[in-house]
Each structure stands twice: as C-alpha cells, then as structure tokens.
Amino acid sequence: MQNIPSVNLRDFLSNDPVRKDKFVSEIGSAFEDIGFVALKGHFLDQQLVTELYNEIKQFFNLPLENKRKYEFPENGGQRGYVSFGKEHAKGRKEGDLKEFWHFGQYVDQNSKYVTEYPENIVVEELPRFNTVGKEAYQMLEKTGIYVLRALALHLGLNEFYFDNYAKEGNSILRPIHYPPITSEPENAIRAAAHGDINLITLLMGAQGKGLQVQNHNGDWIDAIAADDELVINVGDMLSRHTNNKLKSTIHQVVNPPRELWGTSRYSIPFFMHPVSDMSLNCLENCIDENNPKLYEDITAGNFLYERLVDLGLIKK
C-alpha cells in the first residue's frame, strides 16, 4: 500500500443498504489495517474551507504580541493560541516547529458539561474568525458522528453507540501554522512521530507531501489526499476502547526539502473527543483468547489529562 485508501461518506448516507454495508466494510478494514482513510462526501463545502483558510492565515500573520494576547497556558492550551515550539511529542523534549489555535466545544447553558469546558476565545482583530471557526467545527463534528456510526456497526455495536459520547464531546478544532524554516533544525521536525489522543481525527490540509503514516512493517508512507477529501485516522482512545482492533497509527509531519524551507504549511485537524465520563474500558466483544485485554480501565477525562501532561501542555 503506497497511499491510504479512499472512501465516500455518501455511500453510508445513501438509502442503499449495499452501499452502506460497502462503506462500513471499507472503513473498518482500513482502520484495522493502517488506521487511516481519505474521506470524500463530507459536510464541509469548498466555500467554507476557503474562508476558514483565509481567516487562519490572517490570524497567524498578526504580530506576535497580538497573538500572545490570546495565549492562556493556565487552561492547558485547550482554547486560544499556543505559540511556536510549546508542544512536543510524547517522549521528546524538542518542541514541534508549529504554532496553533484551538476552537473548542459549543454547548447550551443547560448542558451538564457547561462548567467543564473553557469559553472559546474571541479574536478582536478578525470579525469573521470565530463565526467561520464555529461553522467548520460543527460540520466536522457532524461528519465525525457518521464515521463513528459506521465504525459502531463494524464493531458489532448499535449504530448509535457513540452518539451520546461524541455529541457535546470535548472535541478540538486546531488550525496549525508550520512557519518557514529559517535555520537548520536541531533534531526537530514540524510534528514528531506520535499517535493522536482522541477517538478519531478529521484532517483538512493533507493535499501535499509532509504528512506520513507508519505501516505495520515500520515503513513511512506519504498520506496525500485529494482537494475534496479529509484524512481521517484512529486515535488512541478508540484504539484502547477496541482493544487495539482499530489501529491508532503513528504519524508525523516531516520538514520539506531545503528548497521549500521558505514556505509555510497549514493544516486543520479536528480532534474528536468523547465526553470526559465515557469509559474507555476494552469492549467485551473485542476480547477473546487470541486477543487478551491489553489496557487498564480508565475514563476519557483521566486519559486526556495524562496525555496533556506528557505533551507538556499541563505542568504537574
């Protein structure tokens, strides 16, 4: 496999049971094999994508002192701006060569999670920034819900098993800017090899070389999507919950060739998290004599906290 498989969400959304079953089989097999797919037929229209990229480029082009107004380390980087080099991969001390922004969940005032989630940060300089970010967040969340419904069927669960965990979940939309490289990086790349924390990640901006995934032989494969595709991968929470039946694949964003050092790269992952009280205990139907239980019991909230400490975003 030299690239990641492509699937079309419109198959799942059709009223044709054959097409729906085809999608469930294709995405389930891909997530068992390499943990990544390219997805067509999602809910993001091109106008919204274009507007979102325009807004985030304007934000990252602001002077650093303007951006720093929106940086709040006390919330573990869960909302607002995180400046260049602050985050590192688990087990590494070198900071990744990136800066980013976090949009978080939007809940009603009567939600049980309203006190759990920090408020989203409003960017005063860009009147459309927060409106466009919220719309993209909600369209990616809607797409993710349907992907999780397909995975529930693949796992032999009720189709709507994940709905109550993912709706109002602690999901994050993260526009990332990898600035031009101005000097030889010392043992640092744009994003060091890592697995994602969450259930699934939906990524915008994998249209050029840079993102690589590691197959079971340890080879790095370029993950390149078409303009109308999202790249979707399994996160550690889902891998843990399925006793590693669905694979959370190690991936990285490598530095470009030297002749392209002067260029920026932008990507926008949506990290789909469940609510904090979801149990990540291994599903009973994913455990048998050939596949013994691999992980200790834990909730999503406790697992997230542990990983944010590992990443250097929360100081113990």
- Residue-by-residue DSSP string for the chain: --S--EEEHHHHHSS-HHHHHHHHHHHHHHHHHTSEEEEES-S--HHHHHHHHHHHHHHHTS-HHHHHTT--GGGTT-SEEE-TT----TT--SPPS-EEEEB-----TTSTTTTTSPPPPP-TT-TTHHHHHHHHHHHHHHHHHHHHHHHHHHTTS-TTTTHHHHTT---EE--EEEPPP-S--SS--SEEEE--SSSEEEEE--SSTTEEEE-TTS-EEE----TT-EEEEE-HHHHHHTTTSS----EEEPPPPGGGTTS-EEEEEEEE---TT-B-PPPGGG-BTTB---S---BHHHHHHHHHHHTTSS--
Residues of the chain with pLDDT > 90, as a percent, come to 63
Q: Is the dihedral of CA 132, 52, 76, 242 positive or negative?
A: positive
Residue 164 lies in a domain: yes
Average pLDDT, the chain: 88
pTM of the model: 0.89
pLDDT digits over 102-143, tens only?
999 999 989 999 999 999 999 999 999 999 999 999 999 999
Q: Is residue 140 part of a domain?
A: yes
- Whether 57 is covered by a domain: the verdict is yes
Most confident of 29-33, 96-100, 131-135: 131-135
Per-residue pLDDT, averaged over 82-105, amounts to 73
Highest-pLDDT range among 126-140, 192-206, 254-268 = 126-140
pLDDT digits (tens, 9 = 90+) for 218-241: 888 888 888 889 999 999 999 999
Alpha carbon distance 171, 199 (integer Å):
9
State which residues form the domain around 289: 6-310
CA distance 73 to 82: 8
Is residue 315 one of the residues assigned to a domain? no
Q: What is the CATH number of the domain that holds 144?
A: 2.60.120.330
Residues 76-97, mean pLDDT to the nearest whole number: 69
Structural domain includes residue 109:
yes
The answer to whether 87 touches 111, Cβ cutoff 8 Å, is no
In a domain, 1, yes or no: no
What is the pLDDT, as a whole number, of residue 191? Answer: 64
In a domain, 316, yes or no: no
For 187, left (φ over 0), alpha (ψ -120 to 50), or beta? left
Contact yes or no for 83/99 (Cβ under 8 A): yes
Contacts of 271 (CB under 8 A, 6+ apart): 171, 172, 173, 174, 196, 197, 198, 201, 235
Residue 185 reports pLDDT greater than 70: no
Q: How many domains does the chain have?
A: 1
Is position 161 within any domain?
A: yes
What is the signed CA dihedral for 172, 173, 175, 176, rounded to 10 degrees?
30
Instruction: Name residue 102's beta-bridge partners.
Output: 80
Do residues 87 and 311 touch, judged by C-beta distance below 8 A? yes
Q: Which residues of 22-40 are buried (b: 16+ CB within 10 A; e: fewer)?
A: bbbebbbebbebbbbbbbb
